Every structure is written in structure tokens, then in C-alpha cells.
């Protein structure tokens, strides 16, 4: 079952890389009492993710904060080390929280996984953006194809804030 507007996010634990090493971050810790924009990519460093999706959130970060967004976070079915390197290379280190869903536990729980085995990618996340208020989904934009970014960019979620 795919998550929908009005649903509460399921509890899950992400890995994040910090200067002290790997740290667990739960959905509850991330969202409790906060307005959070989550966006997901099929993979760090992949063409659309790297050239369009991530940069759209960097470009609109100040506008999102001005609308009361406490945190902007990127979910990917990649390990925390890859996401840390992508964050640094993409210029968003310390600006956008990179959430490693390495085993796709969260992604599967919200029904937004897909099988990328045909491309050698295994299980991956669909490309989406969502506005979450205190753990409840208030807006959700899911792309029909992982290689495009038409509805999940920062401009679209900004309009929902």
C-alpha cells in the first residue's frame, strides 16, 4: 500500500553520517513537532538526481525555510558513506540532511520502492517529494518514471507549504 496524504509516516530508522561517525535517526526524531520536506531519489550521483533534483532543493532552501520548514531531507536507498560523499560534492553538506535507507526499509514501508535490477540497481526508491507536519503527510508528489523530475522538485513542494 502506498502512503497517502493524511497518513502518518511509519516508524523507521535511517543512518546518517556525522563528524563522529554513523548515527541512527528515527522518523519520530526527524518529524516530531516539526515541518519537514522529504524528497527521495533513486540514487546518489545518478544523472537526474545529481543534475536536477538535489540542486532544486539547494536553490529553494531559503524559500522553504521562510515558509516554516524546519528541515529538508533527502532519502535514498544508498549507504550513508555514499550519501555523505554526494552531499559534499553536491554542495549541500550541512544544508540538507541525507538519510540512508540502505535496506529500503522505510521506502518499502511507504510503498514507494521499485525494482531497478534491470539496470543493476536492485531495490530503489521512486522519486518523490512530501511535506510532513508532525509525522503526517500533508503533500505528496510522486514521479511516474525514475528518470524524470516533473512533479517532485522543490518548486512544486514549495507551493504546497
> Taking Cα atoms as reference points, which of 53, 27, 23, 28 lies closest to residue 40?
53
- Determine the Cα–Cα distance for residues 28 and 8; give it in Å rounded to an integer: 10
Q: What is the pLDDT of residue 120?
A: 66
| pTM tops 0.75 | yes
Cell of 112: 514507494
Measured CA distances, 74 to 117, 118, 136 (Å) = 22, 24, 17
Written as tens digits, the pLDDT of the chain (161 aa) is: 799 999 999 999 999 999 899 999 999 999 999 999 999 999 888 877 777 889 999 999 999 999 999 999 999 999 999 999 999 999 988 899 999 999 999 999 999 998 877 776 778 899 999 999 999 999 999 999 888 889 999 999 999 99
> Taking Cα atoms as reference points, which of 51, 45, 11 lies closest to residue 31?
11
Catalytic residues: 49
Amino acid at each position: 500500500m502506498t502512503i497517502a496524504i493524511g497518513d502518518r509516516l511509519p516508524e523507521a530508522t535511517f543512518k546518517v553520517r556525522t563528524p563522529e561517525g554513523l548515527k541512527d535517526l528515527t522518523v519520530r526524531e526527524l518529524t516530531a513537532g516539526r515541518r519537514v520536506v522529504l524528497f527521495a531519489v533513486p540514487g546518489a550521483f545518478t544523472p537526474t538526481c545529481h543534475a536536477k533534483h538535489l540542486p532544486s532543493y539547494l536553490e529553494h532552501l531559503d524559500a522553504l525555510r521562510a515558509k516554516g520548514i524546519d528541515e529538508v531531507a533527502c532519502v535514498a536507498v544508498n549507504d550513508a558513506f555514499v550519501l555523505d560523499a554526494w552531499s559534499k560534492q553536491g554542495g549541500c553538506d550541512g544544508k540538507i540532511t541525507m538519510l540512508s535507507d540502505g535496506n529500503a526499509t522505510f521506502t518499502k514501508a511507504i510503498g514507494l520502492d521499485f525494482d531497478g535490477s534491470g539496470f543493476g540497481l536492485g531495490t530503489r526508491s521512486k522519486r518523490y517529494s512530501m511535506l510532513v507536519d508532525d509525522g503526517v503527510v500533508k503533500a505528496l508528489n510522486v514521479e511516474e518514471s525514475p528518470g524524470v523530475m516533473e512533479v517532485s522538485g522543490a518548486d512544486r513542494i514549495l507551493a504546497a507549504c
